[in-house]
Amino acid sequence: MTDRRLTARRPRCDDSRVRTALLTLTLVPALAWPAEADAQRRPRNQPPPVIAVARPAERNRARRLGLGTRTAIETLLHDRPAANWVAAARGRPTRRFLWPVLNGIATQGFTAQEGRHQALDIGAPCGTPIRAGYSGIVGFSGAHGNSGNLLAIVHPGGWVTAYGHTRRTLVAAGSLVRRGQPIAEVGDTGDAHGCHVHFIVSRNGTRLDPEQHVVGRPTQVHRRSGAVASRH
Ligand SMILES: [Zn+2]
């Protein structure tokens, strides 16, 4: 039932803008990617898992808190996160989250109206690392209908960030992540026709415009040179 509701509500991301952004990004040099070391240790002919595999401590933490389930992701997307989830996300609350994709370009903005595009699309080549907007606990890491491979993080103060259409996730539900940590890779899974992140920011169940709550967004000038500057 819920998936149908999501299908009806969420308009398809505008892939023409994603394509335009990707053309721009072809000039950006490839990023160094720490997971390469992991890939080299993996036996040949064995592709990396699409969804991160939980370590025992993470699995136990997720089970104890009720994270990583279909119910949990519905709550994270539409309702106030549970108090014990927020308590598990240690640290001081912040209103400013790191721009999640280095050199990623905004391709479709936020619309406040419920049922419209209550997220920000950020275009970047598939495989580009996505980094955690802030420290917190991973509330969901898995396939979720139109959102594709979806990752959601609960942050201190009742904030939630979520990252949709990822090619693969790098952290499992129950993982404690730090600000800037690679958590997934840009992809086009689910209802997406270009490589981009469907980036959601919410607080206590209310969707907010991510562009009002980010730092470290690349400027036009720095984007051309491949470097990144903060815009506060
Ligand atoms: Zn989107």
What is the distance in A from the centroid of ligand 1 to the CA of 107?
A: 9
The Cα–Cα gap between 182 and 109 comes to 23
What is the distance in A from the centroid of ligand 1 to the CA of 42?
A: 33
CA atoms in the 13 A half-sphere facing the CB of 139:
31
What is the distance in A from the centroid of ligand 1 to the CA of 192?
A: 8
What is the distance in A from the centroid of ligand 1 to the CA of 12?
A: 7
- In the chain the first and final C-alpha atoms are separated, in Å, by 40
pLDDT values of the chain reduced to their tens digit, one per residue, 232 residues: 444 444 444 556 655 565 555 555 544 444 444 444 555 566 677 777 899 999 999 999 999 999 999 999 999 999 999 999 999 998 999 999 999 999 999 999 999 988 899 999 999 999 999 999 999 999 999 999 999 999 999 999 999 999 999 999 999 999 999 999 999 999 999 999 899 999 999 999 999 999 999 999 887 555 544 444 333 3
The torsion angles phi and psi of 26, rounded to 5 degrees, stand at -65, -20
What is the distance in A from the centroid of ligand 1 to the CA of 117?
A: 6
- For the chain, how long is the longest CA-to-CA vector? 48
What is the distance in A from the centroid of ligand 1 to the CA of 151?
A: 14
Helix/strand/coil for 161: strand
What is the distance in A from the centroid of ligand 1 to the CA of 8?
A: 14
* DSSP secondary structure code for residue 117 in this structure: -
* DSSP secondary structure code for residue 29 in this structure: P
Domains assigned to the chain: 2-29+48-225 (2.70.70.10)
This model's pTM is above 0.85: no
Closest CA to 14 of 150, 109, 101: 109
Tell me which residue has tokens 């903060």: 230
Helices (H), 80-180: 83-88
What is the distance in A from the centroid of ligand 1 to the CA of 131?
A: 17
What is the distance in A from the centroid of ligand 1 to the CA of 201?
A: 12
Closest CA to 151 of 231, 68, 53, 230: 68
